[in-house]
Structure 1
Amino acid sequence: MSDQTFQMIAIAIYMAAMLGIGYVAYRRTNNIDDYMLADRGLKPWVAALSAGASDMSGWLLMGLPGAIYLGGLHAAWIGIGLLIGAWLNWKYVAPRLRSYTAISENAITIPSFFEKRLKDNRHLLRIGSSLIILVFFTFYVSSGMVAAGKFFEASFGWPYLSGMFFVAVITLLYTLFGGFLGASLTDMVQGVLMFAALIAVPIVAVIRMGDFQTLGSRITAVNPDALNLFSSFNDSSWIVAAVAIFSTAAWGLGYFGQPHIIVRFMALRTPGEAKAARGIGMSWMFLTTLGAVFTALIGIAYFADNPLGKERNETVFLLLSQLFFHPLIAGLVLAAVLAAIMSTMSSQLIVCSSALVEDLYNITGRKASPKKLVNLGRFGVLLVAVIAAVIALDPSSSILKLVSFAWAGFGAAFGPVVLLSLYWRKLSAIGAFAGMLSGAVIVLVWGNIKPLSAAMYEIVPGFIVTLLVAWLVSRATYRPNPNIDSEFSEMEKEVSFKA
């Protein structure tokens, strides 16, 4: 058999497994709470691995290695910022959010939590945050489809559109029928695959290419600053360099507002299990990020005589896996890339579905049976996927740029509101809405003005504006509410007791 046949067999096995898990989850999905949040029954290791897999996506195996391959270790500040942000998110957001969403009338989505936490009877927060989710997640899902198209184009020579639609259809099938549980279980399996691949590729590559000293010499021969984490200080003032590093590491700010990640916190069985999940999740994230960094650096050395160029830099992980492994094993490694892409897409589609059904359809006051609500949720998944596919038709789209735009949108619009909701009882509905809207607008404007976005990642001004506006408007509009005070105190008591 040819190499490609072996690889396609491995990928076919993986795809069949994903569809099988989706079917099992479908049999266990009976109502909208099951479909959207798995009835708050995720075990810590499932929540941790599914959160990591849905977070990292094709960015970890394609976007980050590609950025480091082109620019050197300086680009790793993105990973450093994300590690810090993820730890803070698990430590300070996870237990409180799990507790508070259950206390606040069993909120099962982020928009419904904002509304119920702040007693917003006008539905401004629910509608506004749902629309923000639909806008930014459509771009995020699109980035996954772009990664899928590039994956099959680089690995098997498929036309870009064929690869994009193939992955989109498989992901859509198990997400449509399996819901949140299907997405979480497949994400867990995908997280294990990603971990194995990102550890195996750099280890085998180092063994095949020689010792670390030889490898380091080859890397620096190609790019003298490739191993310099602080290379931005070389040709600029320390202020400019420090701003550049902060802007890159500021990706970590985005964690507090990513619906597809923090919804895993809400699905934990108890607030106390956030601690165990944090240990598992952060270990996974640290090792996989390290593997991605080493893979990119090894790629610099290996392709020294035949550089990949900007149009192929994001395929460095794919190419190395095919060069260093038996075709069948290489197929499993390639399946890990699909795992990264599909895990994020499925999680984001579920959140979009919940925004359409739980947060927009339900507030109309129309009555619907549990079965109809689940079917409406599936229709929402399909609708967002179709729009994202239209955006992804352009094969020249950058995975990293699409992801960074959507990441900034959520981090700036939702992050400060989530933190204030959990730690400041005087946050008002009007303050939260004004802050959220201001942050989203800043990201949209700042991110599309090149001089501004080149100087500072748009999440930074967006996050600051949201925080300031929400605080200032809340100070001016806050009115004591016994129900809010009672729920806030109950949440603090529960989290303190179970910490």
Structure 2
Amino acid sequence: MSQNTWFIIAIVIYMLVMLAIGYWSYRQTDEYDDYMLAGRGLNPFVAALSAGASDMSGWLLMGLPGALFVSGMGELWIAIGLLIGCWANWMWVAPRLRSYTEIAGNSLTLPSFIENRLHDSSRALRVLSSIVILVFFTFYVSSGMVSGGRYFEATFGGSYIDGMLIVAAVTVAYTFIGGFLAVSYTDAVQGMLMFAALLIVPVMAYFALADTSTLFTWATDKPYGPWPEGNPEFFSMIKGMSAIGVISALAWGLGYFGQPHIVVRFMALRTPGEAKTGRRIGIFWMLLCIIGATAVAVIGTSFFGQDPSIAVTDQENFETIFLDMGRILFHPLIAGLILTAVLAAIMSTISSQLLVTSSALVEDIYMIVVKKKPSSQVLINLSRTAVVAVAVIAGLMAMNPSDSILGLVAFAWAGFGAAFGPLLIFALYWRRLNTAGAITGLVAGAVVAFAWGQGWLNPALEGMGLGALTDLYEIVPGVIAATLGIVVVSLATRKPDEAILEEFDQATMLARAVEKNPDMSVEDMAEEIIDAPEAR
């Protein structure tokens, strides 16, 4: 059989496994809460791997190895920032958010939690939050479909449209029938596949080297890839990096606090106490994956440099180095399974974003319009319809991909991080936060991040002699603007009502109680705290 035939067999096996998980999840889904949050029964292993897989996407398997191969270890600052941000998110947001959602009206989405937290009867905060999610995630889903089309185009030399439609159809199918449970478990499988591939490929490449003694000298002294005479600064994380560059790279970690498709996993945990286990699993997974991606780049310099008969397919950004290693080292069937790791990364992100976007449509917009809450089955069917509708719109946008779409996707991480990150932290930890401050922070973060990322503020910065700041990653000014807006406006306007303050105190008591008794049912503990005289 030809190489492509083996690749197709591997991908068909993978697709069937994803659909099987979707069908199993469908059999477990009876209520609306099950479809949206898996009935808050997600174990920490699945939560950690699904959060990691939906977060990392193709960047971990293609973008990071390619960037390190071309530019050297200076690109690791982004990975370090993300690792720190991931740890902080699991440490400070996960347990407190899981606890607070029990007190704040059993919230199922991030916008509904923010509204319930502040008792915003105007619904403005919920609607604004939902609009931010709808706009950016529609473009994000479209980008994933574009990636799927490009993947099939590059791997099989086939049609871009056919590849995009195949990826979209399978992803929509298991998201449609299985909801959050299907998305979480398929993401966990995809996370394990990514993990295994990133560890196996560099190890096998190392043993395939003709001369292993050059592993840490080839990149600096010998020709490889884009460096005809080697890169003497390959292993330096400082040389060639400006202070603005390092700050911008580390600032990627700030984005974690505001990513709706990540924090929703925290809301679905069985108990707040399991966030500690999830943190350990998630950080361990992420750390080893980053080490594997780094090893691909380092070993790749010798692997491709020593053998002139092989080369990286992508000679511009060298982002296919991981895929090319897999093709060269393994039997086509195994190589095909390794190639599916990239497909897994793409699909895991699409599915998570589809579900969050559909929840914004149904839970955060439709439920505001209707006066009487529909039955669980009606809500599930509406959510499934929303999944298809968003996928169709995103697919139409992906038919003719443009730079503007891809540019907005690059901005989305900063946009979500700046709009929701500071707001969520203040909502969980600051008693004085009010609705006016929350709305100001949400809008300021999104607007400043967008304007900065699009370069609209560059003339003003250059006119003030601050031209160097034009290279600053937009999440930094976005987070600063959001933080200032939240604090200044909250302090300048009326303090929250006593009912809001009392609820905040109950949530704080619950979070502390959970830390002391992590095995106790959070629902029972919440009832005890709410009913306790000192809570009232």
| Superposition TM-score, scaled by structure 2 size | 0.88
- Does residue 141 of structure 1 match 2:157? no
Moved more, 436-445 or 63-72: 63-72
Q: 1:438 to 1:399 in 2, by over 3 A?
A: closer
**Contact map agreement 2:312 2:324 (CA 8 A) in 1:** no
Report what 2:375 is aligned to.
Answer: 369
Report what 1:346 is aligned to.
Answer: 351
Could you say which structure has the greater relative contact order, defined with CA pairs below 8 angstroms and 6 or more residues apart?
Answer: 1
Report what 2:525 is aligned to.
Answer: none
Report what 1:189 is aligned to.
Answer: 189
- Does residue 225 of structure 1 match 2:233? yes
Q: 1:131 to 1:395 in 2, by over 3 A?
A: closer
**Contact map agreement 2:312 2:320 (CA 8 A) in 1:** no
**Contact map agreement 2:50 2:184 (CA 8 A) in 1:** yes
Q: Which whole-Å CA distance do the structure 2 matches of 1:362 and 1:463 have between them? A: 30
Counterpart amino acid of 2:327? Q
**Contact map agreement 1:59 1:399 (CA 8 A) in 2:** no
Counterpart amino acid of 1:471? V
**Contact map agreement 1:120 1:429 (CA 8 A) in 2:** yes
Report what 1:38 is aligned to.
Answer: 38
How many residue pairs match? The answer is 492
Report what 1:249 is aligned to.
Answer: 250
- Does residue 131 of structure 1 match 2:145? no
Moved more, 458-467 or 369-378: 369-378
Q: Which whole-Å CA distance do the structure 2 matches of 1:459 and 1:147 have between them? A: 24
Q: CA deviation at 1:473?
A: 0.5
Counterpart amino acid of 2:481? V
For residues 114-134 of structure 1, the C-alpha deviation after alignment (integer angstroms, 9 at most, x for no partner) is 000001000011000000001
For residues 29-88 of structure 1, the C-alpha deviation after alignment (integer angstroms, 9 at most, x for no partner) is 222211111110001111111111111111211222222233222112111100000000
Counterpart amino acid of 1:269? R
Report what 1:481 is aligned to.
Answer: 497
Q: 1:493 to 1:95 in 2, by over 3 A?
A: same
**Contact map agreement 1:149 1:395 (CA 8 A) in 2:** no
Report what 1:491 is aligned to.
Answer: 507
Q: CA deviation at 1:211?
A: 5.6
Counterpart amino acid of 2:245? A
After superposition, where does 1:79-118 map in structure 2 within 5 Å?
Answer: 79-118=79-118
For residues 15-42 of structure 1, the C-alpha deviation after alignment (integer angstroms, 9 at most, x for no partner) is 0000010011112222221111111000
Report what 2:362 is aligned to.
Answer: 357
Q: Which whole-Å CA distance do the structure 2 matches of 1:386 and 1:195 have between them? A: 31
**Contact map agreement 2:67 2:317 (CA 8 A) in 1:** no
Q: CA deviation at 1:210?
A: 4.5
Counterpart amino acid of 2:497? N
Q: Which whole-Å CA distance do the structure 2 matches of 1:446 and 1:210 have between them? A: 48
Q: Which whole-Å CA distance do the structure 1 matches of 2:473 and 2:497 have between them? A: 38
Q: 1:24 to 1:97 in 2, by over 3 A?
A: same
CA RMSD in angstroms comes to 2.0
Q: CA deviation at 1:185?
A: 0.7
Partner SS, residue 314 of structure 1: coil
**Contact map agreement 1:435 1:469 (CA 8 A) in 2:** yes
After superposition, where does 1:326-345 map in structure 2 within 5 Å?
Answer: 326-345=331-350
Q: CA deviation at 1:201?
A: 0.8
**Contact map agreement 1:160 1:395 (CA 8 A) in 2:** no
Q: Which has the larger radius of gyration?
A: 2
Moved more, 349-358 or 143-152: 143-152
Q: Which whole-Å CA distance do the structure 1 matches of 2:448 and 2:281 have between them? A: 35
Q: CA deviation at 1:310?
A: 5.8
Counterpart amino acid of 1:22? G
Q: 1:401 to 1:63 in 2, by over 3 A?
A: farther
Report what 1:200 is aligned to.
Answer: 200
Q: CA deviation at 1:280?
A: 0.6
**Contact map agreement 2:98 2:266 (CA 8 A) in 1:** yes
Q: CA deviation at 1:226?
A: 2.2
Question: Structure 2: where are the runs of 5+ without partners?
Answer: 459-468, 516-536
**Contact map agreement 1:219 1:298 (CA 8 A) in 2:** no
Report what 1:237 is aligned to.
Answer: none
Percent identical among aligned pairs is: 56
For residues 268-305 of structure 1, the C-alpha deviation after alignment (integer angstroms, 9 at most, x for no partner) is 01111100111011000100111112213333444445
Q: Which whole-Å CA distance do the structure 1 matches of 2:489 and 2:426 have between them? A: 13
Moved more, 336-345 or 144-153: 144-153
Partner SS, residue 232 of structure 1: coil
For residues 110-168 of structure 1, the C-alpha deviation after alignment (integer angstroms, 9 at most, x for no partner) is 00000000010000110000000011112222232222122212221122222222111
Counterpart amino acid of 2:61? L
Q: Which whole-Å CA distance do the structure 2 matches of 1:318 and 1:362 have between them? A: 45
Q: Which whole-Å CA distance do the structure 1 matches of 2:416 and 2:139 have between them? A: 12
Moved more, 485-494 or 87-96: 485-494
- 1:313 is aligned, of 318, 323, 330, to 318
- Does residue 267 of structure 1 match 2:275? no
**Contact map agreement 2:49 2:191 (CA 8 A) in 1:** yes
Q: 1:327 to 1:310 in 2, by over 3 A?
A: closer
Report what 2:527 is aligned to.
Answer: none
Moved more, 295-304 or 76-85: 295-304
Q: Which whole-Å CA distance do the structure 2 matches of 1:383 and 1:31 have between them? A: 22
Moved more, 202-211 or 104-113: 202-211
Counterpart amino acid of 2:204? V
Counterpart amino acid of 1:297? V
Question: Structure 1: where are the runs of 5+ without partners?
Answer: 234-240
Partner SS, residue 233 of structure 2: coil
| Superposition TM-score, scaled by structure 1 size | 0.94
Q: CA deviation at 1:216?
A: 2.6
Report what 1:283 is aligned to.
Answer: 284
Q: 1:423 to 1:454 in 2, by over 3 A?
A: same
Q: Which whole-Å CA distance do the structure 2 matches of 1:138 and 1:478 have between them? A: 36
Partner SS, residue 495 of structure 2: coil
**Contact map agreement 2:60 2:290 (CA 8 A) in 1:** yes
Report what 1:439 is aligned to.
Answer: 445
- Does residue 456 of structure 1 match 2:464? no
Report what 2:119 is aligned to.
Answer: 119
Q: CA deviation at 1:212?
A: 5.0
Counterpart amino acid of 1:178? G
**Contact map agreement 2:139 2:405 (CA 8 A) in 1:** no
Q: 1:478 to 1:63 in 2, by over 3 A?
A: farther
Q: CA deviation at 1:8?
A: 1.3
**Contact map agreement 2:434 2:496 (CA 8 A) in 1:** no
Q: Which whole-Å CA distance do the structure 2 matches of 1:127 and 1:157 have between them? A: 43
Q: 1:211 to 1:42 in 2, by over 3 A?
A: farther
Moved more, 487-496 or 407-416: 487-496
For residues 93-123 of structure 1, the C-alpha deviation after alignment (integer angstroms, 9 at most, x for no partner) is 0000000011101001000000000010000
